[in-house]
Amino acid sequence: MGTEREDPFAARAAVARRAMVRGIVAAGELTDPAWRAAFEEVPRHLFVPYYYVGVMGGYERLWREDPDPARRERWLAGAYEDRPLATRVRNGDLVSSASQPSLMASMLEALDVRDGDRVLEIGAGTGYNAALLAHRLGDERVTTVDLDEDITEAARAHLAAAGRRPTVVTNDGARGCPRRTPFDRIIATCAVPSVPPAWLEQCRPGARILTPLATGVIALRVRDAGHAEGRFLHTSAYFVPLRGAVGAGRMPVHTGGLPRRATEDDLFRFLLALTAGTLEPQEAYALWQREERPARERYGVTVSGERQWAWLDEPEGPYLWPLGSPAPHEQRS
């Protein structure tokens, strides 16, 4: 695969990319000019040479080398739609995807990077998010980690095709990347049931950690190697879980007897996922009603030594729920 200048799709891709960015901006994201420039200039299609779209009974594969010109055009157009793209399917199950660009934009802006920051990304995936980070901060300040060597090799190739060379490491994401510490920011692209201790240990005091948890995204400020605290962003977020993390980001299965409007409400689903294994669905529903459908920003997470808990409104308030332990392996969404 050559550089974008040698790419026969480059001109049409540039038009589609500008349209994608205009849509994200219109939705209220990409208010930072530096991040807008990154999305305008990093070619997403180079990171998804193939992907899968859902069809009746399974998935259909679209790829850039399809002999059918119409299907190649579908592939290119889909690469710049503001939606997640399934990039790895095993035995009919989705195991990895490229995240929705508008959600990526929201998370990257919430990461609140500054010039000179060193960033660790957990979950290399296609390499697209690392490319955006490298565009903003420089290749030498970005490290991205994934468990599977085939994923990291592919990400490294995609990044090189786009002219970017951040550090790509094959490692268990829950263990971070000790040889590249310390970090000023950590951003995860997989859902975790709790915050891996290694992440805090590899951060500078004052660092920021952004990670999917339940069906939201928690933004933590790190005080030291054993303490961090923060609140959830307003947005919903559904990511492939940390590999082996049973129940991460999932609703309890038994919700019989609850009103349909509750079980279909995104905020109630978030509360169920956050308190799974701690509150019965009926208890969660009573709380949800009593607190008048609390928005995600009212919830937070505290890490204090070996204890981690989620809370509503206040870290030491009346509503507290312990978080589970992270599993040892991770998988990019």
Each residue of 52-86: pLDDT tens digit?
Answer: 987 656 788 999 999 999 999 999 999 999 999 99
Q: CA-to-CA distance for 226 and 222, rounded, in angstroms? A: 8
**pLDDT for res 56:** 59
Whether 76 contacts 47, CB under 8 Å: no
**pLDDT for res 263:** 85
Interhelix angle 10-26/101-111, rounded to 10 degrees, is 60
> Which residue in the block uniquely carries the two structure tokens 């026969």?
8
Distances (CA, A) of 66 to 54, 77, 78, 318, 325: 18, 14, 14, 58, 44
Residue 254 amino acid letter = H
Q: How many CB atoms lie within 10 A of CB 13?
A: 20
71: Cβ contacts below 8 Å, ≥ 6 apart: 62
Please say if the pLDDT value at position 5 is more than 90. no
CATH code linked to domain 4-171: 3.40.50.150
> Within 112-221, where are the H helices?
128-137, 149-161, 197-201
**pLDDT for res 332:** 35
Q: Coil, helix or strand for 77?
A: helix
Share of residues in the chain with pLDDT > 90 (%): 79
Q: CA-to-CA distance for 252 and 205, rounded, in angstroms? A: 36
Q: What distance lies between CA 128 and its chain's CA centroid?
A: 12
Residue 55 amino acid letter = V
Q: CA-to-CA distance for 240 and 142, rounded, in angstroms? A: 22
pLDDT band per the 50, 70, 90 thresholds, residue 240: confident
Domain-by-domain residue ranges, the chain?
4-171
Exposed/middle/buried for residue 274 (C-beta within 10 Å: 0-12, 13-18, 19+): buried
What is the rounded end-to-end Cα distance, in angstroms, of the chain?
Answer: 24
pLDDT band per the 50, 70, 90 thresholds, residue 256: low
User: Can you give the pTM of this predicted structure?
Assistant: 0.91
**pLDDT for res 59:** 81
Residue 238 vs residue 169, higher pLDDT: 169
> Within 264-310, where are the H helices?
266-274, 281-290
87: Cβ contacts below 8 Å, ≥ 6 apart: 48, 50, 51, 52, 96, 97, 98, 125, 126
**pLDDT for res 248:** 44
Please say if the pLDDT value at position 307 is more than 50. yes
Residue 229 vs residue 3, higher pLDDT: 229
Structure tokens at 300: 């937070």
Mean pLDDT of the chain: 90
Q: Coil, helix or strand for 214?
A: coil
**pLDDT for res 330:** 34
**pLDDT for res 324:** 76
Interhelix angle 266-274/281-290, rounded to 10 degrees, is 130
**pLDDT for res 71:** 96
CA dihedral over 168, 170, 172, 178, signed as positive or negative: negative
Interhelix angle 69-79/10-26, rounded to 10 degrees, is 40
36: Cβ contacts below 8 Å, ≥ 6 apart: 21, 25, 30
**pLDDT for res 254:** 59
Q: How many CB atoms lie within 10 A of CB 224?
A: 12
**pLDDT for res 215:** 93
**pLDDT for res 241:** 77
Please say if the pLDDT value at position 282 is more than 50. yes
Note if 194 is an active site residue: no
| Each residue's pLDDT tens digit, 140-190 | 999 999 998 999 999 999 999 999 999 999 999 999 999 999 999 999 998
